[in-house]
Structure formats: structure tokens, C-alpha cells
Structure 1
Amino acid sequence: MKIAFYGSSLLSSYWNGAATYYRGLLRDLAGRGYAISFYEPDAFDRQQHRDMEAPDWARSIVYDATPEALRGVLEEAGYADIVVKASGVGVFDAELLQGIIEHSREDALKIFWDVDAAATLDEMRADDSHPVRRALPSLDMVLTYGGGPPVIDAYEGFGARRCVPVYNALDPTTHHPVGPDPAFAADLAFLGNRLPDREARVEEFFLRAAAALPERSFLIGGNGWESKAMPGNVRHLGHVYTHQHNAFNCTPLAVLNVARDSMANIGFSPATRVFEAAGAAACLITDAWEGIEQFLTPDAEVLVARDGQDVADHVAALTPERARAIGQAALRRVLAEHTYAHRGEQVDALFRAAVVRTEAVGPELARSAA
């Protein structure tokens, strides 16, 4: 089957946290026989910060961020069996969503794939005319990369025929244990872009912990932090490319995950970084959020912190031996349950069941019965 996927970027993780999610899932689906075309706009300097060339497992189409180029790539939706519009493309989001509905074949599966469901749902609650709310009756399903029962209930309450979380996971071919790199030496490291709905939590869980442990070393990577006032024991790296993530995770004594406000509030939303760190056998400390046990066991496979003081206490008590034991336990867990092969199997089953249903009763009856 042919998939036309309209997303933010497959080729660049620059201001694009969904990149590794797209790569892991689509690479696995390609291995299952899907022919994938990925359409991404040339926007936000992402093409100037590529960390991957066009892969052999997907046809990569980079289009100019203009209305003319948009019309051209939308016309290609008509050749696909499955058409996906991801959230957060950043340019022409409303036009892309409406465009896949207008240009797709009647019998094609039409999917909205939400990589920031909590934020999208907040927007939908505030706006009766939100493009996603208007599009739901014409879509076969909504897939999300997190959220659990609260997100499912909310989307189906807005009229989605079906909503299924497809969680972040590990691609062990790209994220795995490596030797340490002195450039990333620290007692605790955090990687994440400076975003309005994350900054206060980074102040609490990372900077407060650093201030409480002036004799320990802290490292922060990601865009936007260069103008942020930080304690003297915090070193800022700037953008960390995907190929550096393994060393970034493997070198420090521990690494920190800090959820965005909306993700923490809704729960069941492990960031990509959680699985990347576990895949590198890093000792991970995460802020507390509902559902963590579904992915990693607290105190055995991950350390959970309620606030910055908890983070400081974990770092102060952590020995290299315990850090290694936690990291190795996390690696075993994610390899057994949370790889993109597991997620690809889930998505493949969803797609094939939907196609069989459509072929059996026709697209209109299939959608009305969903």
C-alpha cells in the first residue's frame, strides 16, 4: 500500500522533536511493504540543519513553503491508499488538512496523526471552528503519539470515529549504547528546546536541582537556552544533533526528562527522549506523570522526581554502579516492549483492518460504522 505522509520534517530534527518518531515508525512500516512518500516544507531553517539525508526506505519530497508548491504536493494525495496529515507542520496546517480530504481518493484511508494531542485538544476546546474539529467527520481515524485514555475520550467526544495512541518508542538501529564522550561529561544532563510550556518545569526540575548541588556538574542541550540565566555549574551546548544523542545519553551519570506542561498534566505521554535514553542504557530521571509504569518501572528502570529537590536528592545519592543497573534494566524493558517494531506492528494491524473493512462495505458505510 502507498502512504502519503504530510509532516514537519523527516530529514531534520531542528526545532522538530517529532523527527525520530517519524523515522522509527515509517522505517518499520517500509520494511512491512508500505511505499512511503513524505512531504515536508522548506521552512524554519530545517533544511539548513539536516541530520539525515533522504533515506532509501521513503521517497522524500521537500517543497517550497508557497501556496503553489502546496497545491502541487496535495495533488499527489490522490495516488495514495493511506493519506496522513501530521500536526505541527508549522506552515499551511489548516490547508494541508483540508487538502488531504479534498484530494484523496474516496476509498483511501484519511488520518490525522497528532504529535501534540494535549495542545491540539486545548485549541479545539477554545475554538468551535478549529480546522481539526471541522475535519473529524471526514477522517477515518486519529492517531496520537501519547495521551492514553484522557486523549482518546476527548477526541472521540469531539466526534473522531476512532482515536488510537501510538506511543513513542526506541529504534535500536539508531539509539544504542556507545562509549563516553568527554564533551558530554556531567552528573546530570538535560536535552530539550526552550519552549513556553516547558520552561517553568525546566527551571524547577533542572535549574533548581543544579542550584542545590553547586559542587556537581550539569549540562543542558537544545535551542533557545543561550539567553537563559543559569547557575554557574550549568554548561549550555546549543543544538545537539541526532547522531550525538547516544553519546549525550551514555556519558553523564544520569539524564533528565522534563515533560511539557500539557503532557505532564494529561499523562501517558512519554517523550521520545525517554526511549532514546533507555535505549542507550542511560540512567534516566523523569518528572512525575501519570502512566509512567506502563513504560518503565520506577526505582528499578527509571527514577521519578516530584520536584527539583527530588532530582537533587536522586543525583546526590546515585552511584555509578546503581546508575548502570538502572540503565541496563531500562534497556532490557524497552527492547522487549517498546521498539518501533512493536509500534509498526500495531499501526500495520490498524491500517490493514481498516482497509479490509472499507473493501467489505465501501468507504461510506465503513466510516459511518466506525
Structure 2
Amino acid sequence: MPFRIVLTSSILSHPLNKHILSAMASAARNLGPNCELHVMPTGYVLEPGSLDGTDLLVFLGSLSDATNAVEQMPGLARRAGAASVFWSTEDPYERDFAWRAREFDYFLSNDGTSTKLALEREDVHHLPLGGSYEQDFRPMKAYDAHGIDIFFCGAPYQNRQIFVEDMRAAEIEAMQPLTLHLAGAQWKTLGQEAIDLDLTHTMLQDLYARSRFVLYLHRSLMIANERQKLVSTTPGPRLFEAALAGTVQICEFVSFEIEDYFSPETEIRLVQSGQEGYDAARDIAADPERWRAMALAAQRRAIAEHCYEHRLLKLLEYVTPRHLSKEAHVEMQRHVEAVTNKRLAALDG
């Protein structure tokens, strides 16, 4: 019998995040016939018999929404004979709500620092989000085929406003400027020129693929992080998604942890201000071959290490051998390696 995973989540209602669930379901098929993953609305998980035959219940998302009944789920899983995993996507911003997941057998955090400081329980592991080859990959274009110079999509948190204003000032002073394009209605309310569209994830990936450079900026918003006041150190999924789209990313430096995922200078560029980011983009733009090499290297790294097949394998490694046999995990790993090698061979042409 295949190892049956039920995935439920609080992000089903988020237009730019709900694609992650279908991405994981698609990725699970590449783990081979010994694994099957079913996406189930949280309300349905609470129905009698909904978890019959399930080996692992995974809740992905936020702990701040008191209406998602997350605290009932570990008990429901146990009664069905299944293990339970809470996979947080909002650490450290909601760190003070971690108590709501205390009954889950495993706690996975999207954030490295939050993982290290989660001393209140056992079986805590670090697992970032990733990207989807099927949804996010775009064939590489020549430098001149990109219609957008520099692009950023994201909410205007205070740190991002400072970075953008600094970059705008650098753009005004440049003799032959690269133009920064923003996406999001909230930027317009701040007096910034921005694309005001109700973007889907596919539209966003297409915009990344049309951009020579994409900004990756961290967020300074804190929802419930008063006790430890942690700073996020692990990049979010946009870093991996944009890499798969075939662009060069200018990344705001927050922590050296980002170097665990992409190499500075050869795969991404790390900067500490809008001025430095603008100068970096102009420097790379002066050499289209260098630009192409960086974009291709980042895309290759994302395919090789940062797709949801790799994330699911890691998740299952954490529950092996207590809930999954080592032999079954090794077999799934073989399937993922074969799929990954095929994708890399196609990239190399």
C-alpha cells in the first residue's frame, strides 16, 4: 500500500500562495508509486472518517487564525492511526502562537532561527518552502528579450519602502537608468508608480520571466513575536520561484543563511541598500553574458535542490523510521533523483 499523506492548509484562500498546495500534490507524484498525497480542506479533515487509511496528516500554514481548528487535528490523526506534522510558513512572525501546535507529533519551521530556539518541545526541524518545476520553470531568454529592467512584487513593509525609495533615488541620478517596476495596489497608495493588477501566481511567474532583475526583500512585519523578537533568517518561496523563472535576483542581505541556498556573485547578488542594489544591477547589466550565466546557474541550482520534490523527501526523512520505512524512503529518493536528472539534462539541452 502507498504511504498516504493528507495535506491541509490555511493558505487555500491566499491568491499568491494557494498554488503551493497543488505544487506539492504534483511533486508527490514524482516520489513514485509508494507515495500519494491528497489535498483536503481543513473543514473536511474534521469530518468523521476523513482520515481513514491516512499515514501522515500535514498541516501547512499559519497558527494565528483561530478558526482553522488546528488544535483538534493531532487527536483526529491519532484516532485514525496517523502521525501528524505542523509545517509553519509564518515563523518567526507568529512565534508566540507555537503553543497551538504542541500536540502535533512533529513541528517543522520555515525559519532557521526559530527552529534552533524552539526548545519547548522535541521533534522540531527546519524545512523551508521551495519552488515548483511544473508551475514556476520558464525557458531562459536572451538578455535583450526582457521587457522589464528591475521588478519587485510584495507588500510595502517599512524596510521595503526604505529600500525602494533608495533605489528610486539612484535611478533618478543615473545617466542611462534601469527602471524599477513595482506590483501591488498598496504601493500606489504610498505615491509609488506600480502595476495595479489582481495577479495570479502564473501571471507573477511570467512577470519574473520578463524581468532582467528581480528584487528579493525580506519583511519586517511582526504579528506575534513579542516573546523572543526573532528576525527571520530563511528566505521565502519567492526566492526559489523567481530562480526557476530564469532571472537574476538582487537580494537584500539579512543573514548568511541565504548562502546555504544560492551562492553570492555566481547565482544571486547580495546587497544592503537600494543604492547598492541599483549599482549591482547596472554592473551585471553591462555584461549580458555574465547576466545569463548567473540566471542559468540559479535556475539550475533551484532545479537540483529546491523543488517541492526535495522538500517532501526531507519531510519524510524526518518521520523515518518511526512512521515510514527506510527502504520506502530510499525508493522515493531514487525516483526524485531520476526526475531531477531528467530536468537538468533538458536544461543543458
Q: What's 1:99 paired with?
A: 72
Whole-Å separation in 2 of the counterparts to 1:91 and 1:162: 23
Q: What's 2:117 paired with?
A: 154
Instruction: From the superposition, tell whether residues 246 and 39 of structure 1 become closer, same or farther in structure 2 (CA, over 3 Å).
Output: same
The count of aligned residue pairs is: 306
> Larger RCO: Structure 1 or Structure 2 (Cα < 8 Å, ≥ 6 residues apart)?
2
Whole-Å separation in 1 of the counterparts to 2:49 and 2:221: 35
Indicate the SS of the match to 1:5: strand
Contact 1:303 1:314 in 2 (8 A): yes
TM, length-normalised to structure 1: 0.72
Whole-Å separation in 1 of the counterparts to 2:188 and 2:321: 48
Q: What's 1:22 paired with?
A: 21
Indicate the SS of the match to 1:104: helix
Q: Which of 250, 254, 257 lines up with 1:285 in the alignment?
A: 250
Instruction: From the superposition, tell whether residues 71 and 279 of structure 1 become closer, same or farther in structure 2 (CA, over 3 Å).
Output: closer
How much has 1:89 moved relative to structure 2? 7.3
Offset from partner CA, 1:46-91 (integer Å, 9 cap, x none):
xxxxxxxxxxxxxxxxx5xxxxx7853x762455221222332775
Q: What's 1:6 paired with?
A: 8
Instruction: From the superposition, tell whether residues 259 and 23 of structure 1 become closer, same or farther in structure 2 (CA, over 3 Å).
Output: farther
Q: What's 2:307 paired with?
A: 339
How much has 1:249 moved relative to structure 2? 1.4
How much has 1:292 moved relative to structure 2? 1.3
Contact 1:77 1:100 in 2 (8 A): no
Whole-Å separation in 1 of the counterparts to 2:292 and 2:30: 33
Residues 1-370 of structure 1: pairs in structure 2 closer than 5 A: 1-10=3-12, 13-14=14-15, 16-17=16-17, 19-32=18-31, 33-40=34-41, 71-72=46-47, 76-77=50-51, 79-88=53-62, 91-93=65-67, 96-106=69-79, 107-121=81-95, 123-124=96-97, 132-133=98-99, 135-136=101-102, 138-145=103-110, 147-148=111-112, 150-155=113-118, 157-159=119-121, 161-178=122-139, 185-192=147-154, 194=155, 199-214=157-172, 215-222=177-184, 224-230=186-192, 234-261=193-220, 266-290=231-255, 291-319=257-285, 320-356=288-324
Q: What's 1:368 paired with?
A: none
How much has 1:100 moved relative to structure 2? 0.6
Instruction: From the superposition, tell whether residues 218 and 356 of structure 1 become closer, same or farther in structure 2 (CA, over 3 Å).
Output: closer
Q: What's 1:57 paired with?
A: none
Whole-Å separation in 2 of the counterparts to 1:302 and 1:186: 18
How much has 1:300 moved relative to structure 2? 1.3
Q: Which runs of 5+ in 1 are unaligned?
A: 42-62, 64-68, 125-131, 358-370
How much has 1:286 moved relative to structure 2? 0.6
Q: Which runs of 5+ in 2 are unaligned?
A: 223-228, 326-349
How much has 1:184 moved relative to structure 2? 7.9
